[in-house]
Amino acid sequence: MDIFKRLKPFFWPYKKYLFTSLAFLLVVVAITVVYPIVLQLTIDEVVLMERYSLIPYIAGGFFLIMIVKSISAFIHQYTGDLFGVTAVYKIREALYDKLQVLSFKYYDNARTGDLMARQTTDVNGVRNFISSGISDLVEITMLILFSLGVMFYYSIPLALITMASIPFLAVVVFQFDRRVHPAFRGVRRSFGRLNTRVQENVSGMDTVKSLSKEDFEISRFSDSNEDYRQHYLFTSRIWSRYFPVMELIGNICVVLLLAFGGALVANGDLSLGALVAFFSLVWYIMDPLVDLGFVINTYSQAKASGERILEILDAKEDVIDQEDAVDIPITGHVTFRDVTLTYTQNDERALKQINFDAPPGTIIGLMGATGSGKTSITQLIPRFYEPEQGEVLIDGRPVIDYQLRALRQQIGFVLQESFLFSTTIRENIRYGDPSISEEQIIDAAKRAQAHDFISQMPNGYDTMLGERGMGLSGGQKQRIAIARAICINPAILVLDDATSAVDMDTEFKIQKALKEVMKGRTTFIIAHRIASVKHADAILVLENGEIVERGTHKTLVHNQGPYERIYNIQYQDREQVLETST
């Protein structure tokens, strides 16, 4: 029960619903045990004694207790569901909140499909036990105890025979639990992998189709699906092995009761009605004990799900606010002092001894091959990652001195792969600041060269976008992302290859518009095209996580270094194109 003790803060505040449900369950169970007594009275007092005048009274009393049972069952079911749903609501919220504060380092090793499975399937696994499993366990216990009480009233020998079978059933149930819990843990993990496979396939469908890898993806999905099937079949084999044994023990008990009970009736030590009632009570014990296997099944699934939920809730938050963190405006003065970054232990360093100073309003260009460390530099400024060594400062303060939310709200990002939400264009643009006016939204769109194509869409700014901005070109998505960054009026602006998906003409227009936007802001431009950084106040050229060159475009183009080589490659290609066209 350690898993549920850990989850206790989420459901214990709503214990009043649970106890209300259990109180009315007690009424339901008590009335259920009355059925065999009514049956015994009917046989012994009405049929055998031929006192048929009692039938209306027995029927009327039975009808009344049925009404009471129906009302009690409704309240029990409703409050039980209210308890489970409310508790799981809090668990789901806590999970989602946790996912928002986990650092990039956590997501570097996480899989989207698996996280989605934990947020949905695993949460529902816990809900099933909290909503019904607990009450089922209490119902089984109460039904057995009440039934045994009535049994001892009717016949002590027969009650003892019945009790003798209970330890055998308990051993089987215990062994079943030991086997089925690891099996369900494997099922949950396998389902998470299957979910991840589907999510990745759907998200990367354009890549799959462009490379004609449909058959390969079908094969990979089939492997994951087969793995899930095998895990579930293994669980089913455990069920198939233990449940017939439980039923066999119950049937042996019934045969023994039939033999001894028949002898007692024949000797006049037990009435016929009591024997019939006794057999009904036997199944009130045997069936719940068999049902205990289903409860353990639900419990085992919930335990496996709870473990996976706690893995997220217990995940270390690598980047957190310091106790004395401040919430103050920044001017955007960025300084790196001997900064070294390693993403994972024993991995090669992504950044090595990075030093530079960018006063407010400075434009810094970052160039280098893929994996050279350009993006890593910009991800340290808002504390997406923490440096292994050295220090990053903003306005002379280490970035750890700032509140995360306050710091990040003053840094605007336009990433190479612009993410748009499945909502209107207007909502996407004002996502960073929902309070901005319509005029500010339109102004930002104009400055990002997005207003014209938005106005031509059927519903303008109210146009609904598909998942991840489906329906827009790459250039259109990036221009909306640029407008979104403009709207938060950031002190620091990061353009991570922000114009890579637009044509040369649109890039020229955006660069022209961004010159106005970048005034007074410290701007970091990550680019592969020299045209995007040639106007920068300083250009840092990186190789293998180190700054190998720094200076202005005019200085670097004559340095006979990496920058000049990039310049010659890009502009020689342009000259060759011009010669070919003439």
To the nearest 5 percent, what fractions of the chain are helix, strand and coil? 65, 10, 25
Alpha-carbon distances, residue 107 vs 104, 110, 396, 454 (angstroms): 5, 5, 30, 33
Please, are residues 298 and 128 in contact by the beta-carbon 8 Å criterion? yes
Work out the pLDDT band at 574, boundaries 50, 70, 90.
Answer: low
pTM for the structure as a whole: 0.72
Query: Collapsing DSSP states into helix, strand and coil, what is residue 148?
Result: helix
Would you tell me how many other CB atoms lie within 10 Å of the CB of residue 535?
15
Lowest mean pLDDT among 283-287, 332-336, 379-383: 283-287
pLDDT at 253 exceeding the cut of 80: no
Calculate mean pLDDT across residues 88-109: 86
Tokens (6 digits) for 250: 């119950």
Q: Which domains does the chain have, with CATH numbers?
A: 2-313 (1.20.1560.10), 417-489 (3.40.50.300)
Tokens (6 digits) for 64: 């009344």
Instruction: Give the per-residue pLDDT at 206.
Output: 58
Helices (H) and strands (E) in the chain, counts: 21, 10
Instruction: Give the per-residue pLDDT at 262.
Output: 78
CA distance 420 to 481: 8
Instruction: Give the per-residue pLDDT at 25.
Output: 93
Instruction: Give the per-residue pLDDT at 576.
Output: 47
**Residue appearing with tokens 């109180």:** 23
Compute φ and ψ for 361, nearest 5 degrees: 85, -5
Sign (positive/negative) of CA torsion 560, 565, 568, 570? negative
pLDDT at 577 exceeding the cut of 60: no
pLDDT at 406 exceeding the cut of 50: yes
Q: Tens digit of pLDDT for each residue in 159-198?
A: 888 788 778 777 777 777 677 767 877 887 787 778 777 7
Of the ranges 350-359, 492-501, 523-532, which is most confident? 350-359
CA distance 540 to 368: 8
Q: Tens digit of pLDDT for each residue in 298-307?
A: 888 888 888 8
CA distance 317 to 294: 38
Would you tell me how many other CB atoms lie within 10 Å of the CB of residue 515?
12
Instruction: Give the per-residue pLDDT at 72.
Output: 94
Compute φ and ψ for 476, nearest 5 degrees: -65, -40
CA distance 144 to 357: 77
Instruction: Give the per-residue pLDDT at 354.
Output: 93
